[in-house]
């Protein structure tokens, strides 16, 4: 039975049929929330799109980093077509990304690893549901999958492939600001791959990319009009916009730079920020969220258990990291630190953003290793 299933999954037509049906099943199950597509956060993209149509520019530079969804909504408002066409585009784009991701994982690590990886993604409510919302997550997650797939597939990319990867990277960056962090993966990957290149050139390239990352991040932070970073600190927010009892009593200065004041707060209240830092990281990876339903938390607990077990066994068995995985690990460490310094999203969107990377590092490689051991 196991051999027959393995043979069917190795067949390209059967494999893509399975993952397509798997994807369709979970889209259908989660489609009950479709009626919420244009509420809450979606309204700011509608307002930005309206402003762009009327003035020919965006109301704030930060909307450049939500450009894909803002652009899609602007097209909807300009040409008066139904928003359901945007939902349809997001669904088809996500299916295409899943198919590409599945193909690459199957090619590199085997069909069982690919099927398991895709299941953990599409079965996650927190990752999949955004296909039905006019938020920025759907296109961002899909661009991320395509970009990650290209990194995994092309170990020695040609100039044409590098150009394609840059286009996909731009898609990530202009879908959500988190995409800026992917620049670091490129930097570390270039540094580790090109060992035959002059050391000074490699270090220069890495420094240039790192400086570019911090410049863009600083520009984004400066354009946050409501001073979210500063406010989340003084209000002890573990979840962005949700104050806790852990509050700092500070004066409210006028015309201040939120980033500089935030740094000053960290140095003047180290114990407060250390505690807040670890609480935010715990919440980032916690599958049990108090404001989620019991069924939602049980589903998260089951799926997260497989993801974390994959990571545990991967590092317990000391499976060697390749260059891409080393770059991803460095990015994840920096990402986790930044979340600890900032705050979490109420709907686990930050965890969902790194979920494909966690799956590739853990579950994908662990299953591939087990399969290889069984064949010996």
Q: What is the DSSP string of 181-224?
A: GHHHHHHHHHHHH-TTS-HHHHHHHHHHHHHHHHHHHHHHHHT-
Find the range with the poorest average confidence among 97-106, 193-202, 240-249. Answer: 193-202
Burial class (CB in 10 A: 0-12, 13-18, 19+), 54: exposed
Does 236 or 128 have the greater pLDDT score? 128
Give the pLDDT confidence score for residue 226 in this predicted structure.
Answer: 44
- 8 Å CB contact between 292 and 252: no
- Cα angle 30-301-1, degrees, rounded to a multiple of 5: 80
Give the pLDDT confidence score for residue 213 in this predicted structure.
Answer: 64
pLDDT at residue 225 greater than cutoff 50: no
Does 40 or 219 have the greater pLDDT score? 40
Rg (CA), the chain: 21
Average pLDDT on 15-30 reads 93
The band of 5, judged by pLDDT with boundaries at 50, 70 and 90, is low
Find the range with the poorest average confidence among 78-82, 93-97, 313-317. Answer: 313-317
* Closest to 146 measured CA to CA, from 104, 188, 196, 184: 104
The pTM of this model reads: 0.89
317-354 in b/e burial notation, b at 16+ Cβ within 10 A? eebeeebbbbbbebbbeebbeebbbbbbbebbbbbbbb
Give the pLDDT confidence score for residue 219 in this predicted structure.
Answer: 56
Q: How confident is the model over 231-285, as pLDDT tens digits? A: 777 888 888 778 888 887 776 665 566 667 777 888 888 898 899 999 999 999 9
- 8 Å CB contact between 118 and 19: yes
pLDDT at residue 318 greater than cutoff 90: no
As a whole number, the mean pLDDT across the chain is: 84
344 beta partners: 239
Give the pLDDT confidence score for residue 186 in this predicted structure.
Answer: 77
Token output for 174: 């202009």
């Amino acid at each position: 039975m196991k051999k027959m299933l393995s043979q069917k999954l190795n067949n390209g037509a059967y494999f893509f049929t399975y993952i397509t049906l798997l994807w369709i099943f979970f889209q259908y199950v989660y489609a009950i929330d479709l009626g919420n597509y244009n509420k809450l956060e979606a309204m700011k993209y509608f307002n930005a799109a309206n402003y762009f149509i009327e003035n020919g520019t965006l109301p704030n530079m930060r909307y450049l980093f939500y450009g894909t969804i803002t652009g899609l909504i602007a097209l909807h408002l300009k040409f008066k077509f139904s928003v359901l066409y945007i939902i349809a585009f997001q669904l088809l784009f996500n299916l295409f990304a899943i198919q590409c991701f599945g193909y690459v994982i199957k090619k590199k690590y085997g069909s069982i690893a690919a099927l398991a990886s895709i299941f953990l993604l599409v079965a996650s409510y927190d990752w999949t549901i955004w296909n039905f919302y006019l938020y920025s997550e759907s296109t961002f997650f899909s661009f991320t999958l395509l970009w990650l797939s290209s990194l995994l597939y092309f170990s020695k990319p040609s100039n044409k492939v590098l150009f394609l990867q840059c286009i996909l990277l731009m898609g990530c960056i202009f879908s959500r600001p988190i995409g800026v962090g992917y620049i670091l993966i490129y930097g570390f990957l270039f540094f580790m791959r090109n060992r035959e290149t002059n050391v000074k050139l490699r270090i220069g390239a890495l420094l240039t990319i790192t400086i570019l990352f911090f410049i863009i991040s600083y520009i984004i932070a400066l354009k946050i009009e409501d001073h979210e970073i500063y406010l989340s600190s003084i209000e002890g927010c573990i979840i962005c916009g949700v104050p806790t009892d852990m509050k700092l009593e500070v004066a409210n200065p006028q015309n201040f730079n939120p980033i500089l004041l935030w740094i000053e707060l960290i140095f003047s209240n180290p114990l407060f920020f250390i505690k807040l830092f670890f609480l935010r990281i715990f919440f980032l990876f916690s599958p049990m969220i108090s404001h989620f339903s019991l069924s939602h938390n049980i589903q998260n607990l089951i799926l997260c258990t497989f993801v974390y077990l994959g990571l545990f066994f991967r590092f317990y068995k000391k499976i060697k990291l390749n260059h891409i995985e080393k770059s991803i690990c460095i990015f994840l460490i920096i990402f986790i630190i930044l979340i600890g310094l900032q705050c979490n999203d109420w709907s686990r969107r930050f965890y969902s953003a790194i979920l494909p990377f966690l799956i590739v590092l853990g579950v994908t490689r662990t299953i591939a290793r087990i399969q290889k051991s069984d064949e010996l």
